[in-house]
């Protein structure tokens, strides 16, 4: 962990906060995997385990008026954005107390109050939506940034190119964040794209763009902060490519025949949480007692969210049309 060269001031309390935020996401998702095998959480489940530094680092750069769009791997983004864990867990359970009244589940966590616009299941589907909101912000002369997270698999879709093109052409206040974990389901980037540096594709459209170590939360926060300042100054869109890795399969059903276990283990050893923890410990900033306190606090919050979700109701049948048909005004 190198904190020296970063322009954002990182004090130890801040580093511990980042550590806790990442751990909270990690443990939440580990619990979700457990609940999935017990069939308490149903449907699709795509875990973000290994990539936590990206969501946590980028969210640090945002203010409450900024907006966020993400993919189906968005539980971590939702938690890092400040949605309550109860709401997120209840949504996983399909309960009415969930962020989308239990109608969306894992892939469709949504919260207007937090300006968290999904949870989008379509690869690259969020990019045009985010560009639309950024255009609205620009037309209304708002300074707010729209952030759009997507996987590197999205670059194979036309929406990626159309979105970057229009964002640059219209100089929109948008930050594209590519979570480059090297694989789109079982397809390695290395065997599917001639240009494997996603930031260079963005530069070809004229965007300010760079790649960072997506396993280093400090580096991600620093780069995202610089870009958000630039965007708020009216200097146009930016793209941040975060090189990262998912430690688990694409979803809960994945035999992972497309990669070697040695590769997974190597990435795990340089994971975002272990990396920051080791740095704090090596510098005498985190002792076992404090680590246990943090672990216990996280576990308590997760257990409470499971209790909340389990004791919540599913939507009443009489309310099933809520939000489906507009009410008549006459």
Ligand X SMILES: Cc1ncc(C[n+]2csc(CCOP(=O)(O)OP(=O)(O)O)c2C)c(N)n1
**Residues near ligand X (CB under 6 A):** 71, 73, 121-123, 151-154, 179, 181, 183-185, 250
Of 202, 273, 283, nearest to 237 (Cα)? 202
Q: Toward ligand X, which CB reaches closer, 105 or 173?
A: 105
3-state secondary structure of 272: helix
Q: Toward ligand X, which CB reaches closer, 73 or 138?
A: 73
Note whether 229 and 66 are within 8 A (CB).
Answer: no
Note whether 43 and 119 are within 8 A (CB).
Answer: no
Within a 13 Å sphere around the CA of 193, how many CA atoms are in the beta-carbon half? 20
Angle at 178 between CA 74 and CA 184, to 5 degrees: 75
For the chain, give me the number of helices (H) and strands (E)? 11, 7
Q: Toward ligand X, which CB reaches closer, 21 or 250?
A: 250
Q: Toward ligand X, which CB reaches closer, 97 or 181?
A: 181
Note whether 18 and 221 are within 8 A (CB).
Answer: yes
Q: Toward ligand X, which CB reaches closer, 19 or 110?
A: 110
Note whether 274 and 216 are within 8 A (CB).
Answer: no
């Amino acid at each position: 962990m190198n904190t020296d060269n970063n322009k954002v001031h990182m004090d130890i309390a801040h580093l511990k906060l980042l550590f806790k935020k990442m751990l909270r996401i990690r443990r939440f998702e580990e619990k979700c995997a457990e609940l999935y095998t017990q069939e308490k959480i149903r449907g699709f489940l795509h875990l973000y385990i290994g990539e936590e530094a990206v969501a946590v680092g980028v969210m640090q750069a945002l203010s409450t008026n900024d907006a966020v769009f993400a993919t189906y791997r968005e539980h971590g983004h939702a938690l890092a954005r400040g949605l309550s864990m109860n709401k997120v867990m209840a949504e996983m359970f399909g309960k009415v107390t969930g962020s989308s009244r239990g109608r969306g589940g894992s892939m469709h966590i949504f919260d207007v109050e937090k300006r968290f616009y999904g949870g989008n299941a379509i690869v690259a589907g969020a990019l045009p939506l985010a560009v639309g909101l950024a255009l609205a912000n620009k037309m209304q002369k708002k300074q707010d940034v729209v952030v759009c997270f997507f996987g590197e698999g999205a670059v194979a879709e036309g929406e990626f190119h159309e979105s970057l093109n229009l964002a640059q052409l219209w100089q929109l206040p948008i930050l594209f964040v590519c979570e480059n974990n090297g694989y789109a389901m079982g397809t390695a980037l290395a065997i599917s794209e001639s240009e494997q540096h996603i930031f260079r594709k963005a530069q070809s459209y004229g965007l300010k763009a760079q790649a960072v170590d997506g396993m280093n939360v400090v580096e991600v926060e620093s780069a995202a902060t610089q870009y958000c300042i630039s965007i708020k100054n009216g200097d146009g869109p930016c793209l941040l490519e975060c090189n990262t890795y998912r430690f688990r399969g694409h979803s809960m059903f994945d035999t992972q025949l497309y990669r070697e276990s040695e590769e997974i283990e190597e990435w795990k050893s340089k994971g975002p949480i272990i990396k920051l923890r080791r740095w704090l410990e090596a510098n005498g900033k985190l002792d076992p007692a404090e680590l246990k306190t943090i672990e216990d606090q996280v576990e308590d919050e997760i257990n409470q969210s499971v209790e909340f979700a389990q004791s919540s109701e599913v939507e009443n049948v009489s309310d099933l049309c809520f939000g489906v048909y507009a009410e008549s005004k006459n």
